[in-house]
Structure 1
Amino acid sequence: MTLTIKTAMAELPILSTLEIVAGHKGINNVINWTHIVDQPDMIPFVRPGMLLLSTAFGISQEVESQKRIIQILSETGLAGMIISIGKYFEEIPDAMIEEADRLNFPLIRCPWNIPYVDITYAINGRIIREQISSVEDSIPIQKELTQLVIDNGGLTLLAERLSNLVGNSVEICDRNQEVLVSYHYQYKSLNQESFFSVEEKKAIKSIGLLYFSRINPTIRYIKKDTHKNINFEMLLSPIYISDQVFGYIWILGTDKQISEFDYAVMEQGTTIAALIASRDLAIHNAELRGKREIFESLMTNDFTEQNSSEWYETAKKLGLKEQYQVLIIKNLPFFEYQQGYIYSFVDYKIKENNVPGTVFEYGNYVVVILTNILQSPAEKTVDFLFREAEIRKIKIVAGISRVASNIQDFKFFLEEAIESLQIGQAMYRSKPATWSLDRLGFFLSNSEKREPV
């Protein structure tokens, strides 16, 4: 069980004579450790989640300075502060009480005759015992989640397992905070959308949560009301592959209070997420290399009677059949560093929606070969890709070939899709759109070829 201000005051006998005089709305703040500081500049010696103990020796007698120290300590993320009364302060100053109430920062009055060593011994001892218990509890968690990787489970199954273990909702997102999977604990269901509203995402960005998680890759606790648009407590942990951030795991305190057990689950879950992501990335890269080799073979070897059987076999590995369409996609404006992201986005959405086709990169373009145009014609496919891109604030443009009937004409129809996109961009630069020859005024039958413009 996580130790909060409230539970510590209720359950530890040494604190029975102490009194919370301000910040009562913050009594559910989690205590990670205690620390004694008695000098004017306290900030370098405190960390988020600590319960600070002070004799008030280093606290100024000036009202504005007293308010300011409460503001700074609250912003640092301390659980609260205990101040001894009777020597340097007869009572905790009204200015500090008023500011602590305003910020929901627990301020605790302690009689001078209570030794701080006894308080720290009681609180830190309780925390250590809970951590030992948490480690013991984490062993079966580690076994269960490791088995998930062995069974070839993915991030979706991981989010579900983590959610059921902690009794709270879980979200896994990429490094740009785009949702990969959200699992709603209360409804036992996967969500297509992120738990976070636009306002909450802005709040997360404004207080630098993702930035600080990258420079200090540890599990981070975010308490409710850290920002006016953060409405529940959370745990956040970055997922690293080698030395690069792949994404983040969130445990959201939407159903019950975050506990010490959640920290243990998050620690194991982050490790397993990195293993899953590394495995999937290796598989993805192998598939990409294979598809690129096949594609380059099609592009460099002309169709002849002598190589027809080999050519047909190569084409079929890409899913080419007698009727297909070629879809070309490019991000707008084009930035080379975004190309990999656009490819991953298109490839993921094509697979997620069971669209028959193959996705690969070709220069500055993402190419989709659609192999069942009755089920998924290019216009229908590109429309849903545009909708998904708009949700993620990605701007893309697309070119579509006519329906191709012969495998040996693949290169021609690939160039046709590229040309449609290039002509469309040249004529209509202002907004994302999809272009094909008929939309551009070239009315040709599917069997008719024309000279490139």
Structure 2
Amino acid sequence: MITIGKVLQRRFFKGYRVLAGEGGLDREVQSVVLFDAPDGFKWCKGNEWVVTTGYLFLDNIELFEELILFLHEKNVAAIGIKPDRYLKEIPNRIINLCNELKFPLISVPWNVRWSDIINEVNTMAVTNFILKMAKKEDNLSKAFADIKTTNNVKDIVMALEDELYRPVELLDMLNEKIYFKDKEKDLDQDYYNRLWNPPCKHEKEVLCDNLNIVRYKDLDGECGYNTWVILPIESYGSKIVYLVIWEKDHRLDYYDILLIRLSYLLLSYIYDKSFITGIYEGRFQDELVEEIVESDQLDRQRIFKKAGKLNVGIKHEYISIVIEEKDADINLYEWRDDISQYIYRIFGRENTIFGLLAKNQIVILHSVDGKNRKSIYHDIKQKSLELINSLENRIEGSIFRGGVSHTTGDIVYMNKGYDECTKTLKIGRYIYGEEKIINYKDLGLFGLIEMDFFTREGLEILREDLAPILDLEDRYELLETLKAYLKHNCNSNLAAKELFIHPNTVRYRVAKIQEIIDIDLQNPVERIKLEVLLQFDELLIK
């Protein structure tokens, strides 16, 4: 807080004298206003230092008294007057009144320009605000050195609220948090939507085009507050933070907007620095994830040390998620910023790390500490699907699929989870077709198939039983008919209905197959064997 007493201690105000009301030098100053119109004082809102030439009081001491009483009631900081211009001396009744009210009456040198006083006080106020936000550090950058914590953001919210005398909130879309002066809570998307699209009758006023500062006014009194102001803050082209000021009974003035602009600069600095650090952090996360999932023999202590440097919880229980993009022409490294924002918005920054492997694979390790085992897989599947939809909407022409591990464990144990995810992606496409997200446990017995099964040698063994059919021109029709026939427990009518053909056609094709490969479809073991093989018909035909 800047008091009129502190202002007068500055070198610039050396020639100023307190004529009366010295007991009120602890009054707060927020701005300087010029008064030289008979009714100009009526628009004071409080905490101003009113300055005047005194011309209006030359033959009207009653107006002088009325002015002082009004300014005192409005909690104005002080009045400054140039007594050598028009009033050669201040009447005793004015001196006594100011002393009685402890309302400072200050003599201003006649040759001082009003603009110099205004600039000096504004500079002092802004400097004080900067020091307050920076915790009075000599070097501002020291205050923002640790951008991994939210302390600096909270400091700005606290300092701004103290200066504006109005509630201030910071909506952090990236971390899904709302920061208040003395607390924080999870961001509710509905709450955010109501701020930008109030459900009540309202009007919208743009306060600053360049920074897109907007005021909303509740016209019916249904939203809880009369007016509120919103300022979006961008970091490298993305709106990730919103500053909200609830105006209460008084609207923001020029000085208030100035402090909001300053807060904008400081917050932009913090989040931009966080973004730049995130680039390097992302690269190190890639290396950490790659070392975890691709090493046969992990150095547990080495992994824990690396994870600690990235503030990754080494004692958390993680589940693995692998998201792959099938188009070879799309390089996910070029979309890392978007991928990062989507992942942290959906899964939460504090509970998640991720890395990019090659140019088409995203590996996510998500903490599931304390969560109900039955709900984990459903919850992760839904979040993964939301991530895929977001990525496909953002990256034109992209097609993503994902696998979720069944195994959970500490960060070192996640190489097994990664193997489960990649197996799910490999096998799941043949069993579940175009399904976007598949859990490893959904593979059932197919999860027991070793990945060697998909090598050239493995596929040759797989093809042996069906090889005579695979060389025929009508192999696609025969295999499709056999799959439907087995699916419906060897019922020709149901198979025909699914394939939109006559039941006799089904019987003919099945008989042809039995003749070619000499298989007994009445034998349940043979049927199971065929059903498993036919899940991989794409590989068989290749």
TM-score computed with the length of structure 2 as normaliser: 0.43
Structure 1 counterpart of 2:193: 198
1:181–1:191 contact (8 Å) kept in structure 2: yes
In the TM superposition, what is the alpha-carbon distance from 1:146 to its structure 2 partner?
Answer: 2.4
Matches within 5 A, 1:86-235: 133-147=121-135, 148-149=143-144, 153-173=151-171, 180-183=176-179, 190=185, 192-193=187-188, 196=191, 198=193, 200-202=195-197, 216-218=209-211, 220-224=213-217, 232-235=226-229
| Aligned length, in residue pairs | 322
In the TM superposition, what is the alpha-carbon distance from 1:229 to its structure 2 partner?
Answer: 9.7
Structure 2 CA distance for aligned equivalents of residues 249 and 278 of structure 1: 15
In the TM superposition, what is the alpha-carbon distance from 1:340 to its structure 2 partner?
Answer: 3.2
1:360–1:367 contact (8 Å) kept in structure 2: yes
SS in 2 for 1:257: coil
1:399–1:417 contact (8 Å) kept in structure 2: yes
Structure 2 counterpart of 1:114: none
Q: Which has the higher contact order (CA 8 A, sep 6+)?
A: 1
SS in 2 for 1:258: coil
In the TM superposition, what is the alpha-carbon distance from 1:138 to its structure 2 partner?
Answer: 1.9
Is 1:269 aligned with 2:272? no
Structure 2 counterpart of 1:13: 38
Structure 1 counterpart of 2:343: 346
Cα-Cα RMSD: 5.8
Structure 2 counterpart of 1:60: none
SS in 2 for 1:224: strand
**From 402, 416, 423, the counterpart of 2:420:** 416
Structure 2 CA distance for aligned equivalents of residues 267 and 239 of structure 1: 11
Structure 1 CA distance for aligned equivalents of residues 230 and 257 of structure 2: 10
In the TM superposition, what is the alpha-carbon distance from 1:413 to its structure 2 partner?
Answer: 4.3
Structure 2 counterpart of 1:403: 407
1:323–1:406 contact (8 Å) kept in structure 2: yes
Quick one: percent identity of the two aligned structures? Answer: 12
Structure 1 counterpart of 2:245: 252
2:405–2:417 contact (8 Å) kept in structure 1: yes
Is 1:286 aligned with 2:284? no
Structure 2 CA distance for aligned equivalents of residues 270 and 413 of structure 1: 43
One-letter amino acid of the structure 2 residue matched with residue 360 of structure 1: G
Matches within 5 A, 1:370-389: 380=376, 383=379, 386=382
In the TM superposition, what is the alpha-carbon distance from 1:373 to its structure 2 partner?
Answer: 6.9
Unmatched tracts of structure 1, length 5 or more: 17-27, 29-124
Change (3 A) 1:378 1:135: farther
One-letter amino acid of the structure 1 residue matched with residue 38 of structure 2: P
In the TM superposition, what is the alpha-carbon distance from 1:423 to its structure 2 partner?
Answer: 6.0
Change (3 A) 1:256 1:285: farther
Unmatched tracts of structure 2, length 5 or more: 1-28, 46-112, 136-142, 308-312, 392-399, 455-535, 537-542
Structure 2 CA distance for aligned equivalents of residues 255 and 322 of structure 1: 44
SS in 1 for 2:258: helix
2:287–2:355 contact (8 Å) kept in structure 1: no
Change (3 A) 1:173 1:225: same
SS in 2 for 1:440: helix
In the TM superposition, what is the alpha-carbon distance from 1:292 to its structure 2 partner?
Answer: 1.7
Structure 2 CA distance for aligned equivalents of residues 217 and 183 of structure 1: 25
Change (3 A) 1:371 1:293: same
Structure 2 CA distance for aligned equivalents of residues 407 and 132 of structure 1: 57
**From 432, 435, 438, the counterpart of 1:435:** 438
In the TM superposition, what is the alpha-carbon distance from 1:263 to its structure 2 partner?
Answer: 1.5
Change (3 A) 1:199 1:329: same
Change (3 A) 1:221 1:374: closer
In the TM superposition, what is the alpha-carbon distance from 1:258 to its structure 2 partner?
Answer: 3.2
> Over residues 33-75 of structure 1, what are the superposed CA-to-partner deviations in whole Å (9 max), with x where a residue is unaligned?
xxxxxxxxxxxxxxxxxxxxxxxxxxxxxxxxxxxxxxxxxxx
In the TM superposition, what is the alpha-carbon distance from 1:11 to its structure 2 partner?
Answer: 11
